[in-house]
Amino acid sequence: MNILVTGGAGYIGSVLVELLAKRGHSVVVFDNLSTGHRGAVYSSAQLRTGDLADPGEIDRLFSENMFNCVMHLASPSLVEESLRSPEKYYRNGLVCGLNLLSAMVRYGAKRIVFSSSASVYGEPESVPITEEASTHPVNPYGECKLAFERMLHWFKVAHGISYISFRYFNAAGATETHGELHRPETHLIPLVLRTARGQREAVEIFGTDYPTEDGTCVRDYVHVADLAEAHILGMEALISGKSGTFNLGNGNGYSVKEVVTVASEVVGVEIARRTVGRRAGDPARLVASSERARSELGWIPKRTSLREIVESAWNWMKAFPSGYAG
C-alpha cells in the first residue's frame, strides 16, 4: 500500500512508519518538523517537509502521489498550551485537517486513520471509559480532536471518505530504534526516566489525596508499538468498508506512584519524588475500555505490563542518550 503519514517524524508517527515500512508498505511522511525529528523517520520512508497549513503544499503532495490510505497524526499536543493559545490548536486541528480532507476529496483518496485522544471525554462519568461515554472536552486540544472527528463523519456522508478515529490514551514505551522525545516533555514516563538519569531533580507528583488505591492519579499507558499495530488493523478495516471510532488503551490503569516505583526497579536507582498540589482538571482515574477495538478490529495489545513499557522506554533512552541525529 502507498501510505501518507502526517506527523511521521514525531513520537508515535515514527514508530508507526517503522512498522509500516517493515511490513513492506511504501510510506511518505509529511511533517513540518515543529516537534518531530528528521532522524526519527525510518530510512526507507520518504520524508517530505511541509506544513498542513499550506494548501498548495498539500496539493503538490497529492498530485505527485496516489495514496491508498492517509494516517493523520500531525498535531501539537500540549494541553496547557492549548488553554493559553487556543488559536494554535484550532488552526492545526481544524484548518490543517480541513486542508488535508479537501485534498483527499480533490484527488480521490478515500481512507483516513486519525489520531484522536482520550481528551475528547473530559472528566469521565464512569471508568473504564467506553466509546459511548459522553464527550465533554475540558480544553481546546480535546475540543479540536472531537470537532475533527465530527468533520470526518460529514466527509464520509458527503464524499464517501471512510475513517477510523483512534482515541489514544497515554502512549508510552519505545521500540529498539524509536522512542519518545518531546520538547518540552510533559509525559510521566520519560520525565521519571530523565530524573533517574540526573537530568531533573525530582519527579513532581501532583496530588496524593485522590480517591485511588495510593492517592495518586491513575492513567492508562498503552505501548506505542501496540498503537502502531492498531493502525494496520484500522487500515484493513477501512479496506473492508468499515468506519468508526475506537479507544486504544492498555486495559489496565497504573498510578503515578506505581510508575515511579517500577521505573526505580527498572533503572536500579531510587528516583527522587516531590509531592506538590493537585493540578486543575486532572481526573483521578482515566482508563479505557478497548473492547470495541478488540472485538471489531481484532486488536490485542501485547505489551501491557508497566514494567515492559518502562523497560522499553529506558532501553531506548540508554541507546539514544542524545536523542535523534537531525
Ligand X SMILES: NC(=O)c1ccc[n+]([C@@H]2O[C@H](COP(=O)([O-])OP(=O)(O)OC[C@H]3O[C@@H](n4cnc5c(N)ncnc54)[C@H](O)[C@@H]3O)[C@@H](O)[C@H]2O)c1
Q: What phi-psi label fits residue 323: left (phi over 0), alpha (psi between -120 and 50 degrees) or beta?
A: left
CA–CA gap between residue 299 and residue 291 (Å, rounded): 9
Among 89, 121, 141, 163, the one annotated catalytic? 141
Residue from 82, 115, 245, 312 touching ligand X (CB under 6 A): that is 115
Residue 221 annotated as catalytic: no
Pick the piece of the chain touching ligand X (CB under 6 A) from 60-68, 71-79, 270-278, 310-318.
71-79
Nearest to 88 by CA among 18, 153, 143, 163: 143
Applying CB under 6 A, the site for ligand X has a residue count of 29
* Residue whose C-alpha cell reads 501485547 in the numeric block: 302
CB 190 within 8 A of CB 174: no
Question: In the set 18, 31, 220, 226, which binds ligand X (CB under 6 A)?
Answer: 31
Directed axis angle between helix 306-319 and helix 256-267, to 10°? Answer: 50
Q: How many CB atoms lie within 10 A of CB 204?
A: 16
CA–CA dist 291, 297 (Å, integer): 10
Based on the shown chain and the rule CB under 6 A, indicate whether residue 12 belongs to the binding site for ligand X: yes
Residue 171 binds to ligand X (criterion: CB under 6 A): yes
Q: How far is the CB of 209 from ligand X (least distance, A)?
A: 25
Question: Which of 111/167 has CB closer to ligand X?
Answer: 167
User: Which residue lies nearer to ligand X by CB, 13 or 253?
Assistant: 13
E strand or H helix at 45: none
Question: Is residue 79 at the binding interface for ligand X, with CB under 6 A as the rule?
Answer: no
Least spacing, CB of residue 35 vs ligand X, in Å: 4
Amino acid symbol at 162: S
Scanning 29-37, 201-209, 229-237, 301-309 for contacts with ligand X by CB under 6 A, the matching segment is 29-37
The x, y and z cell numbers of residue 150, run together, are: 465530527
99 scored as a contact of ligand X (CB under 6 A): no
Distance CA 238, CA 241 (A): 5
CB-nearer residue toward ligand X: 51 or 236: 51
Longest CA pairwise span in the chain (Å): 57
Candidates 74-82, 123-131, 154-162, 314-322 — which segment interacts with ligand X by CB under 6 A? 74-82
- Closest approach of Cβ 129 to ligand X, in Å? 13
Cβ 92 vs Cβ 48: under 8 Å: no
Does 168 interact with ligand X (rule: CB under 6 A)? yes
Contact stretch for ligand X (CB under 6 A) within 47-55, 198-206, 270-278, 283-291: 47-55
SS3 state at 112? strand
Residues that bind ligand X (CB under 6 A): 6-7, 9-13, 31-36, 51-53, 73-77, 92, 96, 115, 117, 168, 170-171, 182
| Catalytic site positions | 141
